[in-house]
Structure 1
Amino acid sequence: MEQDKNISIYVDADACPGEIKNKIMTYISKADIRFVATYNHYSANEDQTLWTYIDAGSEAVDMYILNRVKAGDLVITQDIGLASLVLPKGVYAISPRGKEYNQDTIETSLSFRYLYQEERKKGRFHSGPKKVSKNDLDKFTASLKKFFD
């Protein structure tokens, strides 16, 4: 199904890798793209017509996106909580590594997120996310293409 310019792509951009942002830009002619980040991530080098910067806050970017997204839009986020909130609105949600969030599995993903948070509190996980691999980029590209097919 070919999408039209009324479709928006919202990118939870604070933690979105540069390679993924570049891949998203290849779809600029097919959708309204909006990168959303806190002012902590402001860059004068970015195309300011595509970026929205908001005040820092633990859920500020999520709330901005949640309040604007509509059925048929795409949200790109690593935040499983945000994905769980937009899915019931008829929004397609994927992670920057190409994981497709869906209603059938989101509860399980939320449960695992909780367990990982508990483990982090106990000091068992210290490192951040791994660098984006070619496999991650390929998987993301495939998921993004599905949205426009």
Structure 2
Amino acid sequence: MKGENKMKKILVLLLIIFCISTVLIGCSSAKEGFKDGLESGETKYTIDIEVEFNKPYGGETHMTIAGKTDLPDGEEVLISVVSEENDYIASSKDTVKDGIYMSEPFSKQGESIPKGKYIITVETSNNDKAKQEKIVDIDY
């Protein structure tokens, strides 16, 4: 029981962190006024999403998100992973360098990522310069 309560508290905390970061990102873009697409004169950037699985810790399968982008070096990206069926929400930040970004390894409290569908979103932390979403079905 104690383990379940602790897990529930951690999941609730992750959900709150994810919601707050989503609201903050939304508020920063809402300040400049919502427009469908980018304002004229702004460059449209692309972000590729690649999903890799590795076993860095005692045979547990962890997931890493990486990709190429034409965003300028120094641009910060937010990488989010969500699975409703597994009650899983996690995020990572990275700074683009030489056209590449990479997340920290994602796990479920240090254990393997559970099988199931996940929505992966990669977007710029500010100015909404680029956003990409990918749905993956994990079935080792």
- Measured against the shorter chain, the TM-score band is under 0.3
Question: Which is higher, the Rg of structure 1 or of structure 2?
Answer: 2
| TM-score, normalization by structure 2 | 0.25
| TM-score, normalization by structure 1 | 0.24
Higher percent of residues as strand:
2
Higher percent of residues as helix:
1
